[in-house]
Amino acid sequence: MVYTEAMVRDAVRTFVWRRVVVAEKGLWLAAMALLVFVVFLLWRGDRGWLVGALSIVVLMPPLLLAVVWRVHRRNTVGKLRNMPAPEATFVFADEALMIESGVGSASIPWSGLIEVWERPGYWMLFTSKAQFLTLPVGALSEDDLARLRQRLEKV
């Protein structure tokens, strides 16, 4: 199955959006409320240490977003660029998902997958909350996709 840079970039963008933005709505709402409070304090003329400390706290969620995006982008796109050819072979065995590419091979037991996100042209298979592998599905038939969905429905 063939990878494209657009595919892995989209996977990183999707991961960051869902895990850091959507899943952490409360963090973003709190940061927005705190930002409004800091602006109010500045408008009132307050320039004390509290405004400085709160301003630093307001910057933490965007910094977290930037760090997570950069780490995952560098890791994912970097792996793609290190591949001699942007392709991998996947074997859907009874006990595990086996992957082989120009940079190595791995066998992941089906029970090791905790979550699946279906995207157009590829799926994201999670082995932990922050680790995923990208499975190009464009070359799979509808029957193969149905069998794979059945295997992964427990995830």
Per-residue pLDDT of the chain in tens (155 residues, 90 and over written 9) = 899 999 999 999 999 999 999 999 999 999 999 999 999 999 999 999 999 999 999 999 999 999 999 999 999 999 899 899 999 999 888 889 999 998 889 999 999 999 999 999 999 999 999 999 999 998 888 888 888 888 888 76
Tokens 């977003």 locate to: 65
| pLDDT (0 to 100) of residue 93 | 87
Instruction: Return d(Cα 123, Cα 116) in angstroms, integer.
Output: 7
- Identify the structural domains of the chain with CATH numbers, from first to last: 5-82 (no CATH), 88-152 (3.10.50)
**Torsion angle in degrees (nearest 10) through CA of 94, 97, 99, 104:** -100
